[in-house]
Structure 1
Amino acid sequence: MLEPAAFPAFFREVTGREPFPWQVRLAERLCGGEVPDLVDVPTGLGKTSVIIAWAFALAASLEDRGPAARTLPLRLIYVVDRRVIVDSSYELARQLVERLDPAAPAGPVAARVAAALQGLAGADARPLEAVRMRGGVTWDARWLDRPHQPAVVVSTVDQFGSRLLFRGYGVTPSMAPINAALCGLDAWVVVDEAHIAEPLAETLDRVRRLQRASAEAALPHLRHTLMSATARTAGSANDRLTATLETETAAVSPAAQVAQRRLTVPKPTELEEVNVRGKGVERYRALGAELAQRLAGFAEAPGRYAVLCNTVQAARAAFEHLEKRRPGAAWLLTGRVREFERERLVPAILDQFRSGSPPPGAALSLVATQTVEVGADLDFDAIVTECAPLASLVQRFGRVRRMGNPHEAVSRIVYCPQTHDEDPIYGRATQTTWKFLEQASPGASLDFSYRGVLQLRRQAPPDADVDPTFTPVLLGAHVERWAQTSPLPAVDQPVAPFLHGFQRGGAPQVYVAWRAFPRDVDPQDWAGWLDLAPVSDWETVAVPLAEARAFLAGTPSESIDADIESAASEQAGAEDRSNGRVARAVLYAGPDEPPAPVQSPSTLQPNATIIVDSFEGGHDRWGWTGRRSDPAAPRPVPDVADLAPSRRRRSLRLAPSIALSHATEPEAEARILDAWARLDPEDLDGTLPAICEAFASLVPEPLAGLYRDAAEGIRQRRWDAYLPEREPETGRWRVAEAGRPVVRLVEQREVSATSADRSDDDALSTSLSAGTPVPLIDHSTRVGDLARDFAERLGLAPDLVRAVELAGRFHDIGKAEPRFQAALYDGDALAALAGTPRAKSGRDPRDPVARNAHRLAQLPPGFRHEAVSARLVRALARARPDLFDGVDLDLVHYLVVAHHGRGRPLLPPIDDANAPETTLDIEGVTVSVPGERYQVDWEHPARFEQLNDRYGWWGLALLETIVRLADMKDSELAAARGSGADAGEVPPLSASPLPPGGSHA
């Protein structure tokens, strides 16, 4: 049995360090099933280690009592309202996953923790998974492949909160219930620096209160903890875990010595007021230059220094000032950067500024925004910072001498009346804080050490912090509407106010991606180009709506942009006045909707995704610039779609404009076009390798490596080449450049059998996606078994285990519909009639035969086999009532209808005048149901409402998730096996009957 006394050894094994006393106390409480309401820990004492304490305590409860009696949630969701900081927390989680690798655990205690966690996850799973959720990062639509998988999820407020409330940003409606279930039940949500996420904290408390029905159904509920030394919500004494200098240094130990050094190191700070000229955004840029000059004044001695700004505009200006003064000695870090650049930028910054890294031999400077305030593992010897509310300043000085190493440099807080008297980011709190600091520092000098901060907090007036935003009360009526995901309500309640409150002025965002297109291809014809590679979050950057409009219009933006996801923003109307040509761009609503050319910047709406021509500019290696390229000498934004890490198989779009967006040599364009002229569509094997190699010689890594791999892969026939379609009337290629068709190259092998990012959005396409035909009996039996296993590992009640097992077993029986079977037999109705009923055809959905099969089978658009499955289940219940003894038949019916995320609360109506009868031999009986012309079951909305009342909104979603993840998991395993079963004879569905009234042991 894992005792709490073993936690220090576990901590040493996975981190190489001694735990602080507060970390040991937290682990002890978690082992007892106690989750504190508030964790109050000073900066520098490893707050993210709650991840380690939770993993140990969860394993202890599993080893001691088993899955059914565990006392902690399966998922730890670590939420922080800073984009970049999510990465460092995720890195800790990822390292913990590696330390728990069963093949090479970090030590004997880690081996026991790994074994306990894997006992729950399953022999074919990792003991622990790590998931990162934030804008600009692509993760699988199915980010956990089983509901009982222990996992650490690190997320921003927006990404977690929107998923919790059934309206996940970037989540398709069909996947929304799965996301809501995994975020809303069996989860411990830790909100780091809760003082900047108070609206979310209030909403979480309301969600917990609204989960009574789920609790009454014995479904695992949500728990949450606020973690901040500056949170307004203090919690009761019994629910609070606090760390102080006294508690962390009371015992003589290496950890106490570390805490003593970190909490007592002096951080001398001076105050200075500056004045700047200019109007609007120019004032903020001028302030950035002033901040850079102050840093240059004391950053001559070797050390790590930082300029910390309140706005992206000031940060850009400060960086450009420092870069001109000492090229190559400064870095810029904001949240406005694509993941492609971030993956190269952040490691370089951490190499120089990470806590504990060797002292530099020269002066190094980092310019950053609020993105480094919370949790960033960075260590500066001194900083120059804009004045901000006291809580923000405390966080910024938490990055100063983080490891307790003294330095002679003196930090500086700069106040600018022109920008701070009426601060658009923080309001009156900045001015109040400045006046208070002036009074608290007779000699214009302060100490922001731990003791100095405690004293300042005791003396500070209440309005030295930002006024809390008004957060609307989350009602059951809101959740009832959000739970309706198919179809979505015509008038929907936005979730943003429940995550960030009502902001002053608001901060709507859009998402921008860049793709390279030939200049002679009009945006209205970009659809074919975009179909070559799906747009992913990995290649987008979140940008304030006002700035995006100004960029499209070609006018200077007057938006004052904070690097806080929930911050307000000053916006002007200049972005709606086009300064000449509107940038080449389209609105992108997903692969199923045609892209719409942007005719006017004013048509751009919040949360939209736009695809901009790479040669329009707007982004550089440091992130979003908001500046258009000079048409005479364009500096294109690299088109990085082929490099997205989420692709199931590596692919490459071969076109000159894409290569040219990466090229840096002046003569690259002529050489690229010369190589392209040698493409022969009739001899792809002979001409493609040389073209790929020519392109590789003209572009930097990593694209050059992909070109070389493709060239070699074509020669060895490991890569396939696909040509675009031709126009029927003219015979011209639909996607072409300089008279040659754009070729799509695809690697034959899959990168990973578990890296699939497909959801089950499309019932027919997933029926086509297995490697070989899969009989209905095999798939149905396996899904039922998986659903039962998932539910038992979650510790659900026997009647719920039985319900999801039956739903999994019968979810696809509607595929026996004659026309659907014909579609799965490549459109051959006679072959379907003579063959064994299939669940999957074995065709790739992109295969022309698969595309044509649907038409040949004469299935009407919008047909859902789930509707037929549900009618067959009702018929089976009448013929074999013993199968459903002790089970909620309405629940089984609903889970069958909803197993593709539809039917919440209605399946789409169709007009199917020729719907045939469906007959199936199943469980020893023959059941038949007549064709249904309109597909709509008008009793289903009432059933949906009753089940939500019975199991709760999140509870019903969890039961649905169990069946759907089982379905997707078996489809993935069938594809990995690649040899499912052929179309030969197989036993009828009754060959493996379920025992009445219970699940298999």
Structure 2
Amino acid sequence: MITEGVWPRAITAPTGTGKSNVVDVHVFANALNAVGQGPRVPRRLAVVVNRRAIVDQHLVHAAEIQQALDAPDRPEILAAVQAALAGLAEPLGSSHGDAPTLSVVSMRGGQPSLLEPEGVQRASSREWLDDPRRCMVICATPDMWGSRLLFRGYGTAPLARPRDAGLLALDAAVIVDEAHLSHQLLTTARDVSALSHAGAARLDVPALQVVSTTATATNSTPVGDQVVTVEARDIDGDGRDPELRRRLVGTKSIKRIISASQPASKKAGAAYVNEIAERAAALRHEAGTARSDAACTIGVIVNHVATAAQVADRLRKFHGLTVVTWVGRMRPMDVEEMGAAYPGVFTVEGSPTVDALVTSQTAEVGVDLDLAGMVTELAPASALVQRFGRVNRRGRRTDAVVEVMVPPAPPSTDRMPYLRDDLVASYVWLQEIAARGGDASPWGLSGPTAPPLPVTKPSRLAWSRVRPSDADLLSSTSLPLFQEPDLAFWLRDDLTAETAMVGVVVRTLPIDDASAAALIVATLPVDREILPATITTARAVLERLIGSGRDDHERIFLVAADGKTASPQRDGDAISTQLTPGAMVVVDADHRLVLEGVLVDDVPGRLARLKPLEDHPEYVVLGGADAEDLLAVTDGEEQDELASERLGMPSTVAASFDTEGDDAWVVLVPKDAVLKDESIRQELTASSQGVHLEDHCRDVAERAQRLGIDLGLPGDLLAVLYAAGIWHDAGKRDRRFQKYRLLNTTGPLLAKSSQRPAWKVRRERGGLPPAWRHEQLSAALAWLALSGDLDESRRVLVARLAGTSHGWGRPFFPHGSVGLADDTELPGSLAASRALFDSTAWHDVIETTEALYGIWGCAYLEALVRAADGTVSKEGH
């Protein structure tokens, strides 16, 4: 990595050896490159893992690095790294001045969150893409990262998707953590890497580098020079590391517990739940009396979320233990609250006040815990190895015990989510380990004398491949397809409905459906408040709510994928049909939905309510009399004054719903936050004079070129970026656009207006044909102006970047030349429009540019132009 600028193909090392330090390596390698002491390396590192809790752990680790780099009292070495990274992305304007040295992004549901220096996660679906030069760490789940890589980002507007794809595929690396859980995603990532390689080489930036990491290496795990692993000499050789040795050979023993009550199917009965709780309580008593450690928390890992909730409930009620339940299907805000209530419980230090940590597969992999002991259900051998790794992780205990609940005989049926063959192999493997003395240390399970680890049977017969034809289809983002491709084939190891996830959000909503739906759209759910659930569970729970007999709350709001609508549903069969993978639903907050913070299908009397997210970092919602008072003011400036007084800073009304009764509401937003919405920034500015079109295009051209220079792009492409910036808004010269969209009738041509509140600007459509886009006219004007250019490939690429600068034209625009241009104002524009859009010429433009730079390479160049335009607009010019 440090010498060649290329990540290894795989990292295979036992649990506890520090594989999460890939983030540290990424940061340091970029710093070396910045000062000329190392090769060009990818600027963006995505750490992707199929466990939400582990995504959060990686996020915490990256946040600690971010804060350490920018701390005023940082050590000399960190100061040097900080200065080097800052040199990669020197401020180009006011929009960059307060950004942290290291950008940290979370993608695990809802809108991506950008981590601010104070550790606050702020919903920022697009802002994380504003500066492609920055060193960045992205912590993501497979669905969230993979869907964006494939131009189909869950929860993103179609026109915004190319930016995500371009910046995740080029000048980027991905660590597929615990890769044995994500075979399909790994295959997809490597296919995209191969497809984007030629284009990346032309751009002189790294193509996507793909690294698999796992603590459970098998015969199918890559070996060779491109693999980093632990060898025997690291444990017993002359250069052995004492800390590494202690972690890998620390005492840990396995005890098989024969359970006659273990269920033959998924659902755990009361007797089995009680048996697990009894074993856990006894193990906790032994851990507490045998040692004087400050933290003697024992772990309980079961195979189903519902079982975890029931075991935790029983340990608390019948054994008097202090219990924390931690599963991936919990809201991040609830996990944060537990972490605050029990400091250290989710870390290797532990919490001295917690007796038991009850979890499902959430804590199975990647989570840095050092438990005093564990009770676990039987699972495939690879899963058990991971679970064992959470016990005595630092090797400082001398009597750590892991109890595995096993049936009297090898399983005879599948016990979902695991297959019979995998469970039988694990059963036999455990017997062999017990016969060898029960050593469950990491080296005992992975070293040269360890019993072979059974290979888990794939849940699919074959892995899907991303072919060029698939990439061509997926990248067609500007118009809806007749049939949207099912991303599950490229992202998921398991295609059963049980593994597909949806998000459930609780809100305190107006009674009126229209008011409630409008409020949801105006304040779209953020990751912290989203309760993940399988489609199967969500359907059962939502059907129960619809059939509850409560007329006032028999509704569920289904949020559209693009976030533009939220439709109330009152038909159980309809909601079951429409609840597809990645869907988002919002329900009223007074329903009983959860057991131990988990959505379960159970008797309401056993369930609890979830409190809604109250303090949002970006907006404030006023309802009732407060909203009516503000809406009664018709003067825009006076209304803004009242909003500013309410928030204590310059503010505006970003959205509102005016109705009789108590269902009126307004959303107040700081004025500087309004312009973070890219669709608003296209036509609105905070400047009282507006922004002149010529000045804006020049500034965007210079910014785009500067980005290209700092990223090391070839000289011919720097000229292309400059020209694309000059032409990207040329279509705004149309006087109809100036008059009806920017309210400019007599003055010089404007790029942005200052005359109307943002939400009214977006609604204004008069005077222009339906679906008219200034970018389409921009492409035609660029095509006309560059007709004499000797380099036809330059002309084609500039026209493409001008036309696709806001996501349209991929591969078509909504209409042809009719009504697009006016020759009286812009001579020659009509002929250029006919040449491009009334024939196959525009399609040829798309194909020609993608043949040169690849599908992802073109998306990358579009992202640079969009970043330049967005940041210049944010700065008000």
- TM-score of the superposed pair, with normalisation by structure 1: 0.77
1:297-316 mapped onto 2 (5 Å cutoff):
297-300=282-285, 301-302=287-288, 303-316=296-309
Instruction: After TM superposition, give the deviation of residue 910 of structure 1 in Å.
Output: 7.5
The secondary structure found in structure 2 opposite 1:49 is helix
C-alpha contact 1:553 1:583 (8 A) present in aligned 2: no
For residues 52 and 114 of structure 1, the distance between their equivalents in structure 2, rounded to whole angstroms, comes to 13
Instruction: After TM superposition, give the deviation of residue 782 of structure 1 in Å.
Output: 0.8
C-alpha contact 2:14 2:215 (8 A) present in aligned 1: yes
C-alpha contact 1:384 1:411 (8 A) present in aligned 2: yes
The secondary structure found in structure 1 opposite 2:297 is strand
Instruction: After TM superposition, give the deviation of residue 799 of structure 1 in Å.
Output: 1.2
Structure-2 change in CA distance of 1:528 and 1:188 (3 Å): closer
Instruction: After TM superposition, give the deviation of residue 130 of structure 1 in Å.
Output: 1.4
Q: Does 1:973 align with 2:875?
A: yes
The secondary structure found in structure 2 opposite 1:237 is coil
Could you tell me which residue of structure 2 aligns to residue 237 of structure 1?
224
The secondary structure found in structure 1 opposite 2:703 is helix
Instruction: After TM superposition, give the deviation of residue 307 of structure 1 in Å.
Output: 0.5
Instruction: After TM superposition, give the deviation of residue 251 of structure 1 in Å.
Output: 5.5
For residues 215 and 459 of structure 1, the distance between their equivalents in structure 2, rounded to whole angstroms, comes to 44
Q: Does 1:714 align with 2:631?
A: no
Could you tell me which residue of structure 2 aligns to residue 527 of structure 1?
517
Q: Does 1:538 align with 2:528?
A: yes
The secondary structure found in structure 1 opposite 2:825 is strand
Q: Does 1:368 align with 2:339?
A: no
The secondary structure found in structure 1 opposite 2:523 is coil
Relative to structure 2, which stretch is displaced further, 714-723 or 226-235?
A: 714-723
Could you tell me which residue of structure 2 aligns to residue 658 of structure 1?
none
Q: Does 1:438 align with 2:431?
A: yes
Structure-2 change in CA distance of 1:240 and 1:89 (3 Å): same
Instruction: After TM superposition, give the deviation of residue 86 of structure 1 in Å.
Output: 0.7
Could you tell me which residue of structure 2 aligns to residue 12 of structure 1?
none
The secondary structure found in structure 2 opposite 1:355 is coil
Instruction: After TM superposition, give the deviation of residue 800 of structure 1 in Å.
Output: 1.3
1:3-82 mapped onto 2 (5 Å cutoff):
29-64=1-36, 70-82=39-51
For residues 195 and 373 of structure 1, the distance between their equivalents in structure 2, rounded to whole angstroms, comes to 12
Q: Does 1:639 align with 2:612?
A: yes
Could you tell me which residue of structure 2 aligns to residue 868 of structure 1?
777
Structure-2 change in CA distance of 1:323 and 1:775 (3 Å): same
Deviations 1:625-657 (A, max 9, x none): 345756xx99643232x5333x2xx312335xx
Deviations 1:154-195 (A, max 9, x none): 211111111111111112211211111111111121222211
Instruction: After TM superposition, give the deviation of residue 504 of structure 1 in Å.
Output: 5.1
For residues 544 and 137 of structure 1, the distance between their equivalents in structure 2, rounded to whole angstroms, comes to 19
Partner residue of 2:500 out of 485, 505, 508: 508
Instruction: After TM superposition, give the deviation of residue 96 of structure 1 in Å.
Output: 1.4
Partner residue of 1:98 out of 63, 67, 73: 67
Could you tell me which residue of structure 2 aligns to residue 554 of structure 1?
544
For residues 683 and 162 of structure 1, the distance between their equivalents in structure 2, rounded to whole angstroms, comes to 40
Aligned residue identity for 1:513: V
Q: Does 1:425 align with 2:417?
A: yes
Deviations 1:12-55 (A, max 9, x none): xxxxxxxxxxxxxxxxx423434211212221121111211222
Instruction: After TM superposition, give the deviation of residue 796 of structure 1 in Å.
Output: 1.3
For residues 343 and 569 of structure 2, the distance between their equivalents in structure 1, rounded to whole angstroms, comes to 40
Could you tell me which residue of structure 2 aligns to residue 107 of structure 1?
75
C-alpha contact 1:74 1:151 (8 A) present in aligned 2: yes
Structure-2 change in CA distance of 1:100 and 1:466 (3 Å): same
Aligned residue identity for 2:345: Q
Equivalenced residues, count: 832
Partner residue of 1:599 out of 571, 575, 582: 571
Instruction: After TM superposition, give the deviation of residue 965 of structure 1 in Å.
Output: 0.9
Could you tell me which residue of structure 1 aligns to residue 593 of structure 2?
618
Q: Does 1:823 align with 2:740?
A: yes
1:452-851 mapped onto 2 (5 Å cutoff):
452-454=444-446, 458-460=450-452, 462-463=454-455, 470-501=462-493, 503=495, 507-517=499-509, 521=512, 523=513, 526-554=516-544, 583-589=554-560, 590-593=562-565, 595-600=567-572, 601-607=575-581, 608-619=583-594, 622-627=597-602, 629=604, 636-640=609-613, 643-645=615-617, 647=618, 650-655=619-624, 681=629, 713-714=645-646, 733=659, 739-740=661-662, 742-744=664-666, 746=668, 748=670, 750=672, 758=677, 760=678, 762=679, 766-772=682-688, 773-826=690-743, 832-843=744-755, 845-846=757-758, 848=760, 850=761
Instruction: After TM superposition, give the deviation of residue 724 of structure 1 in Å.
Output: 5.2
Relative to structure 2, which stretch is displaced further, 714-723 or 310-319?
A: 714-723
Instruction: After TM superposition, give the deviation of residue 579 of structure 1 in Å.
Output: 7.6
C-alpha contact 1:219 1:955 (8 A) present in aligned 2: no
Structure-2 change in CA distance of 1:919 and 1:104 (3 Å): farther
Structure-2 change in CA distance of 1:114 and 1:288 (3 Å): same
The secondary structure found in structure 1 opposite 2:2 is helix
Deviations 1:853-905 (A, max 9, x none): 543xx123311011111121122224xx46x7586111100101100011100
For residues 387 and 630 of structure 2, the distance between their equivalents in structure 1, rounded to whole angstroms, comes to 62
Deviations 1:201-228 (A, max 9, x none): 2222222222243145244211112112
The secondary structure found in structure 2 opposite 1:611 is strand
The secondary structure found in structure 2 opposite 1:617 is coil
1:898-909 mapped onto 2 (5 Å cutoff):
898-909=804-815
C-alpha contact 1:770 1:971 (8 A) present in aligned 2: no
For residues 196 and 936 of structure 1, the distance between their equivalents in structure 2, rounded to whole angstroms, comes to 46
Partner residue of 1:945 out of 847, 866, 870: 847
Structure-2 change in CA distance of 1:933 and 1:596 (3 Å): farther
C-alpha contact 1:187 1:222 (8 A) present in aligned 2: yes
Structure-2 change in CA distance of 1:334 and 1:456 (3 Å): farther
Relative to structure 2, which stretch is displaced further, 236-245 or 367-376?
A: 236-245
C-alpha contact 2:265 2:414 (8 A) present in aligned 1: no
1:861-900 mapped onto 2 (5 Å cutoff):
861-878=770-787, 881=788, 888-900=794-806
For residues 711 and 837 of structure 1, the distance between their equivalents in structure 2, rounded to whole angstroms, comes to 32
Structure-2 change in CA distance of 1:898 and 1:92 (3 Å): same
Instruction: After TM superposition, give the deviation of residue 906 of structure 1 in Å.
Output: 0.8
For residues 423 and 910 of structure 1, the distance between their equivalents in structure 2, rounded to whole angstroms, comes to 57
Could you tell me which residue of structure 1 aligns to residue 87 of structure 2?
119
The secondary structure found in structure 2 opposite 1:283 is coil
For residues 577 and 485 of structure 2, the distance between their equivalents in structure 1, rounded to whole angstroms, comes to 21
1:349-428 mapped onto 2 (5 Å cutoff):
351-357=344-350, 360=352, 364-406=355-397, 408=399, 410-416=401-407, 421-428=413-420
Structure-2 change in CA distance of 1:98 and 1:843 (3 Å): farther
Deviations 1:401-424 (A, max 9, x none): 112221545320002479884221
Structure-2 change in CA distance of 1:347 and 1:126 (3 Å): same
1:205-284 mapped onto 2 (5 Å cutoff):
205-220=190-205, 221-232=207-218, 233-244=220-231, 246-247=233-234, 250=237, 256-276=241-261, 282-283=267-268
Instruction: After TM superposition, give the deviation of residue 911 of structure 1 in Å.
Output: 9.4
Structure-2 change in CA distance of 1:456 and 1:638 (3 Å): farther
Q: Which has the higher contact order (CA 8 A, sep 6+)?
A: 2
Instruction: After TM superposition, give the deviation of residue 345 of structure 1 in Å.
Output: 2.5
The secondary structure found in structure 2 opposite 1:84 is helix
Q: Does 1:129 align with 2:109?
A: no
For residues 473 and 149 of structure 1, the distance between their equivalents in structure 2, rounded to whole angstroms, comes to 31
Structure-2 change in CA distance of 1:805 and 1:327 (3 Å): farther
Aligned residue identity for 2:815: P
CA RMSD of aligned residues (A): 3.5
Structure-2 change in CA distance of 1:852 and 1:109 (3 Å): closer
C-alpha contact 2:388 2:402 (8 A) present in aligned 1: no
Instruction: After TM superposition, give the deviation of residue 239 of structure 1 in Å.
Output: 1.3
Structure-2 change in CA distance of 1:176 and 1:349 (3 Å): farther
Instruction: After TM superposition, give the deviation of residue 277 of structure 1 in Å.
Output: 7.7
Relative to structure 2, which stretch is displaced further, 508-517 or 581-590?
A: 581-590
Structure-2 change in CA distance of 1:343 and 1:288 (3 Å): same
C-alpha contact 1:907 1:935 (8 A) present in aligned 2: no
Could you tell me which residue of structure 2 aligns to residue 141 of structure 1?
125
Instruction: After TM superposition, give the deviation of residue 956 of structure 1 in Å.
Output: 0.7
